Amino acid sequence: QWIFMNGEFVRKHEAKVSVYDHGFLYGDGVFEGIRTYDNNVYKLKEHLIRLFESARSIMMEIPYSLDEMTEIVVDTVRKNDLENAYIRVVVSRGVGNLGLDPRSCGTPQVIVIAEELALFPKELYKTGIEIVSVATRRNRPDVLSPKVKSLNYLNNILVKIEANLAGVPEALMLNDEGYVAEGSGDNIFIVKNGVLYTPPGYVGALEGITRQAIIDIADDLMYTVKEQPFTRHDVYTADEVFLTGTAAEVIAVVKVDGRVISDGKPGQETIRLTEAFREKILQDGTP
């Protein structure tokens, strides 16, 4: 396996980062999770724009242009000869001293890892999953925007730990007002009377690329889509619930906090949107 590190490809066991890297010391950096479908990198431009916007927001300059980053990602996938790859792009502030001040850091480090994709078990796409809501809250959008995909993923990790403790594959994070924000690494949609609802970014959700793809597909299929805040009550009483994310794609949720959603099976709109999403995938790739 070849890893792209600051301008060259190195073997996996040689891909090492300094203990003085501020990404390691402080979570000072940004990242993206991208995937391929049959050798096409899905929505690469959208992911890289989000990466550059995350970096801009934390005043970090990525030492490559958008075009160069596009080439780097595609080259990393090719070099590893992967058909269905999960790609992780990490840009950390770089190597500095032990102080917080990013001015001690040199150039940001750019790392691209591509490896075989790992999804939820196939069976769960047929049955749907159970989730729980947890105590960990999403950080406030006005403090550090959840739109920034930063290397500070501690609240998402705490959500994952709470999901593990509850014995479910994913969990739901609320914001500090109690509105539903998102999962540890996925966005949430609910369907009620044929209308799709998903929390707006200002509630405290990352504006997922898959989330946007579903919104676009739903628009094409003449659904009404509303980005508006909702609570757990609305989730419990929804006709359908599903999650979206790069790795998860679209997955139905059939039980939330012990409440069975409708008849406990993936709903027909969820199935229809998932099928439309899969059909459209190949049109959205960068070969």
> Residue 105 or 188: which CB sits closer to ligand PLP?
188
Ranges within 11-70 binding ligand PLP (CB under 6 A) = 33
- The stretch among 11-19, 203-211, 234-242, 252-260 that binds ligand PLP (CB under 6 A) is 203-211
Question: Per CB under 6 A, does 250 bind ligand PLP?
Answer: no
> For tokens 């049955």, what's the residue?
127
Whole-number minimum distance, CB 151 to ligand PLP, in Å?
11
Q: Which residue is nearest to ligand PLP (CB)?
A: 208
Ranges within 143-162 binding ligand PLP (CB under 6 A) = 156
3-state secondary structure labels for all residues of 46-73: HHHHHHHHHHHHCCCCCCCCHHHHHHHH
> Residue 2 or 42: which CB sits closer to ligand PLP?
42
32-to-211, 247, 275, 280, 287 alpha-carbon distances in Å? 15, 12, 25, 22, 19
Question: Per CB under 6 A, does 246 bind ligand PLP?
Answer: yes
Question: Per CB under 6 A, does 245 bind ligand PLP?
Answer: yes
Whole-number minimum distance, CB 14 to ligand PLP, in Å?
28
User: Which among 106, 103, 104, 68 is positioned nearest to 89, based on CA atoms?
Assistant: 68
Question: Per CB under 6 A, does 208 bind ligand PLP?
Answer: yes
State the Cα–Cα distance between residues 113 and 96, nearest whole angstrom: 23
**Burial annotation 125-157 (CB, 10 A radius, 16+ → b, else e):** beebbbbbbbebbbbebeeebbbbbbbbeebbe
Question: Per CB under 6 A, does 211 bind ligand PLP?
Answer: yes
| Contact in structure between 141 and 184 (CB atoms under 8 Å) | no
Question: Per CB under 6 A, does 186 bind ligand PLP?
Answer: yes
Question: Per CB under 6 A, does 169 bind ligand PLP?
Answer: no
Question: Per CB under 6 A, does 139 bind ligand PLP?
Answer: no
Site for ligand PLP, rule CB under 6 A? 33, 156, 182, 185-187, 206, 208-211, 244-246
